[in-house]
Structure 1
Amino acid sequence: MKILRITSSPRKEYSKSIKLGAAIIEKLLAAHPGASVKHKDLTASPFPHLEEVHLKGFYTPVEYRLPGYDEAVRHSDEAIAEIKEADVLVIEAPLYNLTISSTLKAWIDHIVRNDITFRHTPDGDVGLLTGKKVYVAVTAGYIYSEGPGKAKDFVRPLLQAILGMLGITDVTFIMAEGLSVPGVKETAFQKALDSIKI
């Protein structure tokens, strides 16, 4: 089994999403001896935000690409190849300002490509990256799974929709929330660890 781990937090050793992702990886390796892990740290090698040259490269057939287009598309092609190769993805997604980090969004913008990872049809979009399992490690200072914060969680609905668009529908969210809430933060992370089921 091949596992692709996606890190999007810049906080390194202080990051709870990195710790949660590592715990998921640990359980995956325990359940699947011999599995390999490829780690993509989006903060160490950030994906460029989309510019005109990227979009032109995406939509121009290889034989007609102008100089510079191939380099502009390289990040996207490599990221898509990594996903295709993987059986399982572990995406670490801390909740920043109610949504995902810009580093994770930039990666997403490079992997969502018409006729490569999904296809428009008269009956709706059809995903082309099927047969994969995804675990998403979500961390948040406030509580977003219930109560007044639930309507402000744009991490899980966004990732569920985008992954589904790509044909990846087997998605499990592991959430450590309330990490800054007195009376909750003391046990919040351990509660998330205990909820990991592989």
Structure 2
Amino acid sequence: MTSKVLLINSSILGDNGQSRALAEHFKARASARDGLSLLERDVVAEPLPHLDGTEVASWMVAEEARDSQQHDLAARSESLVDELLAYDVLVLAVPLYNLGIPSQLKAWFDRVLRAGKTFRYTENGPKGLVEGKRAVVLAARGGQYAGTELDSQTPHLRHMLGLMGITEVDFVYAEGLNMGEGRRDAALREARQAIDSLVETL
């Protein structure tokens, strides 16, 4: 049985980004393993605009009643939701920018976090509709943040994924990348080893 992987890159540094380097290592290991297929989406190379009220309003109009602009705007979100639902594993390669995720990645989440599509509201609160999927976060950081109060990125990602119903989430951290060559090399080596182990479990 083939496991399908959707890889999202979000580094504004392109090939020079350390999160991209982690993603490339993941791709190399995944391609060498039988039973894994991978699709890559780069939300920087193919950016989504920031979500606005006009686009949100298009979601609220019945498909048969949408005008051409509403149809195009709604299709942007719906195609991304369909893509997400078609894959078994979501891999997010995420740099840390100003203690948060890149705005380009937030724009992607804003299209796939859809009430009635990927979660629904109940009397007991929201319930995720994306079931049976797994996520892996490849987190590259210049400083040392994991486990500290400054790491707002980890809970943010975990909560957004959990809202959709993706609760099996593995984080691979490469930290201290701007804190000296020795620390950077050790962090990247440990992250690559963690990726190797994770790929074997997919």
Question: What does 1:11-50 correspond to in 2, within 5 Å?
Answer: 11-31=13-33, 33-50=34-51
Answer yes or no: is 1:195 the counterpart of 2:194. yes
Q: Larger deviation: 105-114 or 4-13?
A: 4-13
Q: Larger deviation: 101-110 or 17-26?
A: 17-26
Deviation for aligned residue 1:62: 1.2
Is the Cα–Cα contact under 8 Å of residues 57 and 73 in structure 1 kept in the other structure? yes
The amino acid of 1:178's aligned partner reads G
TM-score, normalised relative to structure 1: 0.92
2:53: which partner in 1? 52
Q: Runs in 1 of length 4+ with deviation above 6 angstroms?
A: none
Answer yes or no: is 1:152 the counterpart of 2:154. no
Q: Distance in 1 between matches of 2:144 and 2:167?
A: 25
Q: Distance in 1 between matches of 2:37 and 2:30?
A: 10
Q: Distance in 2 between matches of 1:155 and 1:71?
A: 31
2:177: which partner in 1? 179
Runs of 5+ unmatched residues, structure 1: none
Q: Distance in 2 between matches of 1:112 and 1:187?
A: 36
The amino acid of 2:166's aligned partner reads I
Question: What does 1:42-191 correspond to in 2, within 5 Å?
Answer: 42-146=43-147, 150-182=148-180, 184-191=183-190
Is the Cα–Cα contact under 8 Å of residues 17 and 92 in structure 1 kept in the other structure? yes
The SS at the match of 2:161 is: helix
Deviation for aligned residue 1:193: 1.2
Deviation for aligned residue 1:75: 1.7
Q: Distance in 2 between matches of 1:25 and 1:88?
A: 13
Runs of 5+ unmatched residues, structure 2: none
Q: Distance in 1 between matches of 2:166 and 2:146?
A: 22
TM-score, normalised relative to structure 2: 0.91
1:158-188 deviation line (CA, Å, top 9, x unaligned): 0100000000011101110000113522422
Q: Distance in 2 between matches of 1:18 and 1:58?
A: 33
Deviation for aligned residue 1:67: 3.3
Q: Distance in 1 between matches of 2:24 and 2:134?
A: 16
The SS at the match of 1:6 is: strand
1:38-65 deviation line (CA, Å, top 9, x unaligned): 1111111111111121110112221222
The amino acid of 2:80's aligned partner reads A
2:8: which partner in 1? 6
The amino acid of 2:109's aligned partner reads I
Deviation for aligned residue 1:29: 3.9
Is the Cα–Cα contact under 8 Å of residues 25 and 90 in structure 1 kept in the other structure? no
Is the Cα–Cα contact under 8 Å of residues 90 and 134 in structure 1 kept in the other structure? yes
Q: Distance in 2 between matches of 1:112 and 1:21?
A: 23
Q: Distance in 2 between matches of 1:20 and 1:13?
A: 11
Aligned-pair RMSD on alpha carbons? Answer: 1.4
